[in-house]
Chain A
Amino acid sequence: MNRFEWRARQRGYKLIAGIDEAGRGPLAGPVVAAAVILPSDYINSDIKDSKQLSAKKREILHDIIKQEALSVGLGVMEVDVIDTVNILRATLAAMREAVLDLLLPPDYLLIDGTKGIEFPVPQETIIKGDALSISIASASIIAKVSRDKIMEIYHRQFPQYNFLKNKGYGTLQHRKAIHEYGYCKIHRHSFHLKKTDDCQVNVEFDFSGVAKAFKNEG
């Protein structure tokens, strides 16, 4: 989990920030990014891919990272931004905000994914970075827990969608609630529900169309 950080340090970089985001996929709520600078010799075998951790464990690690990291930065892009630009650009903007939010000036960035951000220091993008780099994994935990907390607050404002449980993701229950109550203030209008609307129930599990296509081919 340390090899990307180690390699950057070998090249003379001192303040290496790991960056990751949470909430690119959901139908509602902000996209949240975090940047984390860890001490040079930092080891914590509990920190791994945030998706593999339980919510409880994530929260515990969130507090540990906040305490032990040299600096933690957060960037939040709300729905209006996501709908005006697009989700990719909003995500990159949130990442940039997170880096600017750090108390210390990083000299090297490790970014989860494939796209770099607009920031004048050398950067490296790592696919599945949250499973390969401890800095990115830490950022991923911070981003996820922070976003969950935001969704908890939105849940109190719009309880009919049960954001507490689905965090804005398009679960069946959430989509049903949208049918019943329509969109609320924090729904992403750029994310279209139309397809699931027309076909109604479980379009993902209906393979009859695929089977027909195969038959026609043969």
Chain B
Amino acid sequence: MKGDGRIRTGKAGEDMAAAYLQKAGYDIVERNYRCPFGEIDIIAKEGNTVVFVEVKSRKSESFGDPQMAVGLLKQRKLSLVSLCYLKDRRIFPCNARFDVVAVKMLPSGDHIELIRNAFDLVSI
């Protein structure tokens, strides 16, 4: 059941991230938005700005910081999904940005970090 473990970690991380964002004043609009370009974990609104949130969860520190795990290819994919979403819901043009929530689930306790405006819309 190794594969399931990773999915469970991811899901738990997303739940924790969503709760954290809500506490921070974000309105959660949608979870796990899917389109032909891929998926976005959380879509939220902060004031007038649509925020696309990628959640990175780790159970150990051996692979480095979770926020480092959003590579350029992933950024490009998230850019496409976000545009697809804005088109789909007819809220384009609007203010939007990308945040990353890093969730570390360590034996010593959970640790959540929010990185606002983690990267820009990648040229596609």
Contacts and interface: CB of A to CB of B under 8 A. Distances in A.
A8 to B, nearest CB: 12
Interface in B74-124: 80, 83-84, 86-88, 92-93, 121, 123-124
Contacts of B83: 15, 104-105
A105 B80 CA distance: 10
Given A103-B35, A103-B36, A103-B84, A40 B123 contact: yes
Q: How large is the interface on A (under 10, 10 to 19, 20 to 34, 35 or more residues)?
A: 10 to 19
Contacts of B88: 103
Contacts of B35: 103
A9 B83 CA distance: 17
B21 to A, nearest CB: 25
Interface residues of B, number: 14
B85 to A, nearest CB: 10
A126 interface: no
A102 B84 CA distance: 9
Given A103-B35, A105-B83, A39 B92 contact: no
Nearest to B37: A103
Given A70-B80, A103-B35, A105-B92, A14 B86 contact: no
Contacts of A39: 124
Contacts of A15: 83, 124
Contacts of B84: 103-104
Contacts of A70: 80, 124
Contacts of B80: 70, 104
A104 to B, nearest CB: 5
Contact of B86 (A9, A40, A102, A105): A105
B87 A14 contact: no
27 contacts: A9-B123, A14-B121, A14-B123, A14-B124, A15-B83, A15-B124, A39-B124, A40-B123, A40-B124, A70-B80, A70-B124, A102-B87, A103-B35, A103-B36, A103-B37, A103-B84, A103-B87, A103-B88, A104-B80, A104-B83, A104-B84, A104-B87, A105-B83, A105-B86, A105-B87, A105-B92, A105-B93
